């Protein structure tokens, strides 16, 4: 099937097609519940009824009206139970890639989509890490009867410079203080402690190492040339690289991928 999702925001989405993690080479249509406050998007996870079970699938098409080729009586379509994500969890690129892979290898789209997600994201809602945080309150409402200590002033200066909100541990480290003066400022209504959701990105602080250009051997250059020639010609071809460990096959992959990305394609 072809991904369908080019609906304007003004159009009401009444039906979705979901790929389910089952050994079935088809998608399943469901109606969008009238009381749903989530607008269906391609790539969202959705909980749906399937026989007597409830399964979590992936939205792969959205429709205002059912396409004629589905050949389904709208009255017999069951409603989806709930959408588990406010926004798309899977990009259109991954949807297309998994659809193609499932078709090429005679596999199942829903299972491919489930396998494409990191462990822990293929079932229930994505749970962020919850951390203790502190925010600055309006000083007009604070108890200013007593003068501030140097430690308390350092705390207020640090959190003010950070925009008025910091994680608890960052505030302690930044101000060079312990928990006691922070707790005192909380009691005096200068600060408020709350729990903040932190969505983790393990690559946010990582930098890719510099990679120096490697001179290709004759055999590597020949392999890269054949692959890039096929890419330039827009042809689909399968290539088998044969070589012992350490012979340089990975460098051929890197060169082919770099050439593909430079041409505006994905790899």
Query: Rounded CA gap, 98 and 90, in Å?
Result: 11
Query: Rounded CA gap, 162 and 170, in Å?
Result: 10
β-pairing verdict for 82-83 and 53-63: unpaired
What's the pLDDT score for residue 172?
Answer: 94
Query: Rounded CA gap, 70 and 173, in Å?
Result: 60
Close Cβ partners of 175 (under 8 Å, ≥ 6 residues apart) = 151, 154, 155, 157, 158, 159
Query: Rounded CA gap, 249 and 21, in Å?
Result: 34
What's the pLDDT score for residue 4?
Answer: 56
Q: What's this model's pTM, rounded to 2 decimal places?
A: 0.50
pLDDT by residue for the chain (267 residues), tens only, comes to 556 554 444 457 789 999 999 999 899 999 998 777 778 889 999 999 998 999 999 999 998 888 877 778 888 899 999 888 888 888 899 999 999 999 999 999 999 998 888 766 655 555 667 789 999 999 888 998 899 999 999 999 999 999 999 999 999 999 999 999 999 999 999 999 998 876 655 555 556 677 677 889 999 999 999 999 988 888 888 889 888 888 889 999 999 999 888 888 887
Query: How many residues in total does the chain contain?
Result: 267
Residue 224's closest CA among 250, 246, 244, 245?
Answer: 250
What's the pLDDT score for residue 159?
Answer: 95
**Are residues 53 and 47 in contact, defined by beta-carbon separation less than 8 angstroms?**
no
Q: Token pair for residue 164?
A: 């008025």
What's the pLDDT score for residue 8?
Answer: 40
β-pairing verdict for 45-50 and 53-63: antiparallel
**Are residues 73 and 31 in contact, defined by beta-carbon separation less than 8 angstroms?**
no
Q: Token pair for residue 203?
A: 């690559």
What the chain holds in terms of domains, given with CATH numbers, is 15-116 (3.40.1440.60), 129-198 (1.10.10), 218-262 (no CATH)
What's the pLDDT score for residue 125?
Answer: 52
Q: Write phi, then psi, for 95 (nearest 5 degrees).
A: -60, -45
Q: How many CB atoms lie within 10 A of CB 98?
A: 24
């Amino acid at each position: 099937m072809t991904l369908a999702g080019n609906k304007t925001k003004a159009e009401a989405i009444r039906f979705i097609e979901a790929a389910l993690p089952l050994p079935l080479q088809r998608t399943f249509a469901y109606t969008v519940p009238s009381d749903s406050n989530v607008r269906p998007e391609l790539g969202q996870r959705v909980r749906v009824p399937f026989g007597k079970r409830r399964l979590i699938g992936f939205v792969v098409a959205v429709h205002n009206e059912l396409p004629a080729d589905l050949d389904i009586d709208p009255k017999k379509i069951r409603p989806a139970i709930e959408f588990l994500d406010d926004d798309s969890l899977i990009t259109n690129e991954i949807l297309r890639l998994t659809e193609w892979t499932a078709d090429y290898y005679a596999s199942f789209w829903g299972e491919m989509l489930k396998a494409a997600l990191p462990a822990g994201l293929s079932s229930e809602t994505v749970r962020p890490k919850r951390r203790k945080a502190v925010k600055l309150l309006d000083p007009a409402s604070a108890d200013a009867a007593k003068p501030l200590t140097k430690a308390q002033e350092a705390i207020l200066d640090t959190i003010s410079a950070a925009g008025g909100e910091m994680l608890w541990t960052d505030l302690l480290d930044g101000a060079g203080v312990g928990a006691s003066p922070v707790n005192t400022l909380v009691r005096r209504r200068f600060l408020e402690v709350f729990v903040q959701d932190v969505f983790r990105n393990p690559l946010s602080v990582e930098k890719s190492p510099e990679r120096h250009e490697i001179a290709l051997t004759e055999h590597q250059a020949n392999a890269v040339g054949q692959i890039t020639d096929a890419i330039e010609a827009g042809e689909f071809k399968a290539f088998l690289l044969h070589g012992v460990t350490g012979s340089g096959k990975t460098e051929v992959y890197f060169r082919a991928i770099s050439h593909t990305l430079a041409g505006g394609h994905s790899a």
